[in-house]
Structures are given as C-alpha cells and as structure tokens.
A and B are shown apart, each in its own frame.
Chain A
Amino acid sequence: MRKVLVVEDSPAMRELIGSLVDELGDIQVTEAENGLDALHLLPNENFDLILTDINMPNLNGLELIAFIRKNQNHSETPILVVTTEAAVADRDKASALGATAYLIKPFEHSELIEKVKRLLG
C-alpha cells in the first residue's frame, strides 16, 4: 500500500485529484486543505508521493516544499507541484526548492495518472 498526500485548497480539485490517484489502486490517499494542514501529517507519516498546489492560504506550497525537503522523513519523497500556468516564477522557485515535477492546471486526467505512476516508480 503506497501513501500519497494531496495538498490543495479547492475542495473540488482536491476531490478530483484524490479520486484520480485513488483509482490507480492500492494507494492510500490523504488529503490536506493547505500547507499548515499538511504540516500536521508530515512528521508522523511516510508518504511515497506528495502532490501540492502553490497558491494556498495558510502556508503556501513553496514553504511546504522547503519544509518537506528539510524534514528527514521526506527529504527524498517525490513532490509533484500541481499549479496554474500563470505562476511561472513560483514554479521555478518550487523546482529550485526541490520539487520533482510539475503539472499545469487544467490537466488531462491521463497526464496526472501518468506522472503519479512514474513518480511512484
């Protein structure tokens, strides 16, 4: 059973991403509403993949990525940034901070599934 964390502030988007990942099977999807929410989960869990938005209230995605990379549990965990095409500068920062890959909203369902599959190895 793999564990995937989805951090996204839009409930509909979170639900969509969560269910797409869930459909891959044998994956436990945990959802967090924002970075702060995710912080609660990180110390006690070992996620195999983290999907995060950048623009979120209460701890943005960049701060979350920086934290994840500094956290021993998750220093190597792949991070997939799911964000909009507008935030180019933020996306560059995310990759500088150690995000593994990014996906631009709106995305094709198959795109997400493929990326998730690849990142889970």
Chain B
Amino acid sequence: MSKVSVSPEFIAEAQEIVDALNRDLIAVDQETRDGNQDVDPDRINNLFRSAHSLKGISGMFGLEAVSSLSHDMENLLDGMRLGKVSMDAKVLDVLFSCVDRFGVLIDEAAHGIVSDPSGSETLHKQLEEAATGTSDEEKVDLLDTIDLDKDILSVFTEYEEHRLRENIKRNKNLFTLRASLDLATFDEALAALDEILQGKAEVISKLPSADEVEPGNLGFDIIVGSPLNEDEMEKLTKGHVLLVVPIGCTHEVIPPPPDVPTANTANTANTANTESVAPQSGQDTGESPAATDGKDGGKQEPPKSGGGGGGGGGERPRAVQTVRVDIRRLDRLMNLVGELTLTKMSVQGISERLKQDFGFTGLAVDLHKESRIFERRLAELQAGIMEVRMVPLDNLFERMVRIGRHIGRDLGKVVRIEVSGAHTELDKLIVEDLADPLMHLIRNAVDHGLEMPEQRLAEGKPEEGTIKLSAMAQGNHVIVAIADDGNGINTERVLERAINRNLVSEERAEEMSKRDIYNLLFTPGFSTVEQVTEYSGRGVGMDVVKTNIAELSGIIDVDSAIGKGTTFTVTLPITLAIIPALVVSISGQVYALPLNNVLETISLVDIVIKTIEGREVISVRGTTVPLVDLREIFYLEGTRPEGAFCVVAGVGENRMALVVDELIGQQDIVIKSLGRRLRNIPGIAGATELGDQKTILVIDMVGLLTELTKLDDGGDRTKVAV
C-alpha cells in the first residue's frame, strides 16, 4: 500500500462508472432470472464500455489494482459482447464481486490509499476462467455473404462486425438507410430515428458521409438489421430518411454448427443460444408483431407487447433524457443570479427614489410593478437552479450500505443496515463531500459500535447487529443519522483516555457533562480503539470527520446509551450556493455573517458584561457565552461604540457572541471563494458582493468558533490569532 493523492474528478467518474456497472448487472441479473436467453446486447456492450472506461482512467491515474481488475473484466465482457462467452449466474456472481471490489478500491483511493493488485487475485483468476469461452467463429465469414461495401466494413469496430454477423445469422433483413440531416441538428435527428427504430430494428452503425447530399446538410448511412421487409422499413422511416436500400445477402438459413462438446462450462449455455436461433421466423414474429402484421405499419406498437408496456419502458435507459452538467456551470449560473439580484436591488432603489421625488404616479407605478415581477421571476429562477443542484442521497447511501456490509464481513460481524429517507435531497457538492465523513462514521459504527456476534448473543441481543442510516429534511437543513444498536460509549474509558493523553485536565474532567465527554471523541489525538484495525487505523480520526463536516457548515453530535447503542447526528445546510446572511459593520468594515449559525441578535445596551479570567462573557438564557470582538482577532482599528449589538452564534454545543457595531440588514448572498491562493485565511469563508458593487468578506462562523474552542482548551490566544 502506498499513499498518493488522486484527483477528485477521477474518483467521481470512477464512482459513477462503478454505479453504472452495478445498475447494468442488476438489470442483466433480472433478465436472466426472467428466463431471457439473450441478454440485451446493448446492456452487455454498456457493461463492456464501463469496464473499458474504468480501465482507461484508473490506468492513467495510477490505480493499478483497479485497472488490472477492470482489464480482466473488460476481456470477459468483450468476449461476451462478441458472442464468445455467455452470461450465466456464475459469471454474474464474479462480476458482482468485482464491482464490490472496485467500490472498496476506489474508496481507498479517495483516501489516498493505493493497494496493489495482489489483493484481488482470486477475482482475477475467476475472471480469466470465465473468459476462456469457446470461439464460435463461422467457417465461412458471414460478412462475405453480404453485399456491403468493403469501405463500409472497414470502419466497423469488432463489436459492430459481430452484431452484423449476428443479424445475418438470424436472417434479419439488412438495410442502408440514407439520410440527409441538417448540420446543426443532426444529433437530434439521429436520436429521433433511433427512437423510431427501437424494437423494430437494430442500428449496427451510423456512418457520416463526406459527400454533401444537400448544401448545409450531412449525409448519413445508417446500417440496420431488422425483421421488417423493405416496404415496412420505408413506411417506418418515412420522413426521416431519403432512401432505404436493402443490402443483398447470399446467406441462407444454415443449420446450427454441430455441437462440439468441450470441457468448458460456458459452452453449454452458448450452444443453447445457437440452437434457439434455428426456428428463425417464429422467433422473429414473437419479437416484433409488426413483422407479420405489415399492413398496420402506421400504428407503432411497442416492442415485446406481450410483456406489457411497463417492462419495456423501464429497461431502456434512453427513455429518460438527462444531461450531465459540470457543477461549475451551475455555479456560474448561480453567480449570475446573484448579480441579477444586485441589479434588481438597484432597480428597486431607483423605483423608490422615483416614488419619493416625483410621487407614486405614472411611470413610477409601472416601474414599481415591473420590478416586483422581476423580483418574483428571479426568485423562481434561483429556485430552479437550486433544484438542479439537488441530488437525492440514495446513491451515497447505497455505497455506504455496500461498504458497511463489506467491513462487517471482514471483521466477522453480522451487520444489517437499514436505510430510510434516501430520497432526501441535498446540494450535489455537499453530497460529494459528505461521502468521506459518512464512510468513516459507518466504519466506526461497524468496527467500534457493534459487538462481535458471540458477545451480542451473550448479552441477549440478536446476533445480527443493526445500523440505521437515515436522512430527513428539516427546513433549510438535512439531518443524517447513523445509529447502531451496539454497546454504547463508555464515558469512563473515554475520560481515562483523554486524561492519559493530556487532552483534558483531571479537574476539568470532574465537571464534564456526558455530552462534553462524548465531544472528546472529536478532539484531535483521541481514539478509543484498543486495537488498530484495517478500517479504523488509518490515521483519520473523528476530529477529521468533524472538520470535514464543519467545512460544509454542518455540525455533528453524538448521543449514546450503555448497552443500547450510539447515534451520530449530522446536521447540514441544504446548500452552500446561496445562503441568507446578516450584513453588519465593525469598525467601519462591512461583513456578512451566514445566518445558518446565528441563534439570535442582542443589543449590548441592556446586557451586563462580566470578565472571567480576563475574557469578556455575557449571560444568554442562563448560559455563559464568551463575547468576541473581531477588532481584537482581526486587528481592526477603533473601539466598541455605545449601542453596539452582539450576534449569538452556535455550532453544536459551542456558543459565541460576536460584537457588531451596526446591523445593516439581512440578505441572500452567493459566497465566492477567495480562490486557491487565499483559501487558508482563518475566520474568512469567502467574499460576496452587495448591491452597491462593494465586495465584502463573509465570516466563517464555524471556523471562528472552532478557533475559540481551541483557545478554551488551553491554547495561547496570540498564537492562534496570527
């Protein structure tokens, strides 16, 4: 194992590919269970392509374990899509195991851990075995039996050649559909054609031709195989293509090649496939009612009508039209909305002035009305873009379930993971960054939370441990909880460890509440593991989990009951893209304070400020809260004016009261990053623009609070404030 840093784009894409593999395998599994002998060739080709892409990128990013495994998987799937190997339950199992393994390897890579391929040796062997299928290449190349230009054949990939052979073998009619499509819109036109042909013909290849059929158009030759005859094909594609040219074929129904028994397991199913091809016409009519019922060409019946419309619609991913968008583009749109908000405010300002200077009549009324409409539409636009950014947690949760099971298996624990609220939506960026901390919490729950099966049985609990992973929306926040039914946190052991490691003094330990003690888990340098296991001993502690969550403006809480279990609760804002903020001024400088963490605002006029150990504190609802003056921390000139306010902020159990001179107002802001080079300025979360084109800084409330908490734990103020 070695440590490297792997680009997040790679991780995201690899993850996506693994998810796609998983989805397609599940679909294939379903198909084979349904007794389909021919698995949808598109599906196998998709699987192949996924393995191929995964191999490509993992190879480039130095993940040899992933690339070599996906290489073998690609080999197997290549054989399968070229008809050399067939899919059966055993092969499916191997493929599923590979996907599991990919999941683990990629998770590791996300943490900078790169394993070498030796860990997957069994899988390699199994893949290799499965891939040594028999070749059923024809004695006579079927491609020689058709009247297709050699030039055209020369651009067919091996797979396309195979599909062409399959169509010839099954006595499908082959056609060249010649289309002339507008240069600007040909992809839509081709997609429309795909849709029409779906279930009635297989598109083997689409070839653009360099000869201009009409000016401004691009010619395409689309090679298809179909049970339809020429007339039917013409009817079907009328208006979409210029010409339907049948491709002559001298191939006649030849009996299937004699069954040559070999020792290979894959062969039996393979032979069965070939045999089923024999009753040609019967099968074809079964597949497409339109073939026998030619006169009904106008009415387009869905394919496989016997299976019911629902099944047919669900299994074609093409039916759902989606666009993959780089989230940065959405950020740009959101920035524009932010700028439009500023424009809106200027317009409203003008409208106000107009009203005051010339009275609320005529144009002033019109402007007022229009600017209201502008405001409403803008809000809708903002909501619309927000909506696009939102993704459900289900993918992430699925991964967590897989990881949890895997860890359980490795540790010899029986784990059941119950998921609820997976449809809850969050900003995609938050979901991405949530993966790491959540994974750690799951690991923690399986590894430390749950007891070994024997111990559970001895305690009178079911052998199987349960982890409940849940999510729910609450206003502008989402609460994700990970609850195990294990032994709970032993506060005495936690305290002992904390004292031993000088994380807390003995005097202080005396007065700590249960909650304070639980929070010690998040202190850097603390770890309750007696024994470092593969899953917990990676140097990533709970403190990192807490930091990661704080970076998302979230908080983490823990609660536990001895013998009953432990629950970690993560509260996150729905989005970080646009947030409500309080605009304030301190010593003439204007700042934005994100409202996520603001509890209340109090006038300091009626408040008694006490000094404890040289630090100012106030009492808020019976709790002592440190009073923080940014003048001190940010080295601002000037002194606290009379009539100042304080903004009480909280993260988890921590509180602070920030002194502000003036409350300017509340406003939705778009936080802009200070850029790669300035990201490490403590206490500053970013910048934003106000209506008057002025740029102001956004205070990092979580960061400030964390900093103050560290100070409380005996840090030296001046040291941190540099």
On whether A and B touch (CB less than 8 Å), the answer reads yes
Interface residues of A (CB under 8 A from B): 9-13, 15-16, 36-37, 39-40, 43, 54-55, 57-60, 62-63, 65-67, 70-72, 84, 86-87, 89-90, 93, 96-97, 105-107
A106 to B206, CA, bound (A): 28
**Complex Cα spacing A59 to B67, Å:** 25
8 Å CB contact of A66 from B59, B183, B207: B207
A55 touches B208 (CB 8 A): no
State which of B7, B56, B206 has its C-beta within 8 Å of the C-beta of A59. Answer: B206
Question: Which listed residue (A11, A62, A63, A93) contacts B13, Cβ 8 A?
Answer: A11
Indicate if the CB atoms of A86 and B60 lie closer than 8 Å.
no
What residue of chain B has the Cβ atom nearest to residue A57's Cβ?
A: B49
B218 and A39 contacting across the interface, CB-CB below 8 Å: yes
Beyond A11-B13, A59-B206, 9 additional contacts (C-beta under 8 Å) are A13-B57, A36-B190, A43-B183, A55-B52, A66-B155, A84-B55, A87-B157, A97-B155, A106-B60
Q: Report the Cα distance A57→B211, complex, angstroms.
A: 23
Q: How far is the CA of A9 from the CA of B49 in the complex (A)?
A: 10
Contacts of A55 in B (CB 8 A): 49, 52, 157
CB-CB nearest in chain A for B53: A10
Q: Tell whether A87 pairs with B158 under 8 Å between CB atoms, given A10-B53, A16-B60, A59-B206.
A: yes
Q: Tell me if B158 and A89 are in contact (CB < 8 A).
A: yes
B96 contacts chain A at the CB level, 8 A cutoff: no
**Given the complex, which residues of B lie within 8 Å of A72, measured CB to CB?**
210
State whether B56 touches A105 (Cβ < 8 A): yes
Select which of A10, A15, A60, A86 is within 8 A of B75 by beta carbon.
A86
Contact between A12 and B9, CB atoms less than 8 A apart: yes
Contact A54 B7, beta carbon cutoff 8 Å: no
Min Cβ gap B161→A in Å is 9
Q: Is the CB of A13 within 8 A of B60?
A: yes
Judging by beta carbons under 8 Å apart, are A106 and B59 in contact? yes
What chain A residues lie within 8 Å of B206 (beta carbons)?
A: 58-59, 63
A73 CB to closest chain B CB (Å) equals 10
User: Do the beta carbons of A12 and B7 come within 8 Å of each other?
Assistant: yes
Q: Which of B10, B49, B56 has the most CB of A within 10 A?
A: B56
Q: Which residue of A lies closest to B71 (CB)?
A: A86
For A71, the chain B residues whose CB sits under 8 A away are 210
Binding site for A on B (CB under 8 A): 7, 9-10, 13-14, 49, 52-53, 55-57, 59-61, 67, 71, 74-75, 78, 151, 154-158, 160, 183, 186-187, 190, 205-211, 218
Interface residues of chain A: helix, strand, loop or mixed (majority): helix
* Contact status B207-A97, CB under 8 Å: no
* B-side contacts of A37, CB under 8 Å: 187
Which residues of B are found within 8 Å of A84, using beta-carbon distances? 52, 55-56, 74
Contact of A10 (CB < 8 Å), options: B13, B67, B155: B13
- Inside 8 A of B49's CB, which chain A residues have their CB? 55, 57
By a CB distance below 8 angstroms, the chain B residues around A66 are 151, 154-155, 207
B-side contacts of A40, CB under 8 Å: 183, 186-187
The answer to whether residues A10 and B57 also contact, given A67-B210, A86-B78 and a CB cut-off of 8 A, is yes
| Cβ contacts under 8 Å, B151 to chain A | 66
B186 touches A39 (CB 8 A): yes
- Across the interface, which residues of B come within 8 angstroms of A86, CB to CB? 52, 71, 74-75, 78
Known: A9-B53, A10-B13, A106-B56. Contact between A60 and B160, CB under 8 A?
yes
Chain A residues near B75 (CB-CB < 8 A): 86
Instruction: Check B154–A12 contact: CB distance below 8 A.
Output: no
Determine whether the beta carbon of A105 is less than 8 Å from that of B59. Answer: yes
23 A-B residue pairs with Cβ-Cβ distance under 8 Å, sorted by A, are A10-B13, A10-B56, A11-B9, A12-B9, A12-B57, A40-B186, A55-B157, A60-B155, A60-B157, A60-B160, A63-B205, A65-B155, A67-B208, A70-B210, A70-B211, A84-B55, A84-B56, A86-B78, A96-B154, A97-B155, A105-B56, A105-B59, A106-B59
Give Cα A114–Cα B206 distance, bound, in whole angstroms: 33
- Whether B157 pairs with A105 at a CB distance below 8 angstroms is no
A80–B215 CA distance with the chains assembled, in angstroms: 30
Given A11-B9, A12-B13, A87-B158, answer yes or no on A36-B187 (Cβ-Cβ < 8 Å): yes
What B residues does A39 contact at CB under 8 A? 186, 208, 218
What is the minimal beta-carbon distance from B30 to any residue of chain A, in angstroms? Answer: 23
- How long is the Cα–Cα vector from A63 to B221 in the complex, in angstroms? 11
- Kindly name the residue among A12, A62, A90, A105 whose own CB sees the greatest number of chain B CB atoms within 10 A: A12
Closest to A68 in B: B210
> Which residues does chain A contribute within 8 Å of B57, judged by CB atoms?
10, 12-13
User: Bound complex: CA of A70 vs CA of B212, how far in Å?
Assistant: 11
CB distance from B679 to the nearest CB of A (A): 21
Q: Among A16, A43, A93, point to the contact of B154 (Cβ < 8 A).
A: A93
CB distance from A29 to the nearest CB of B (A): 16
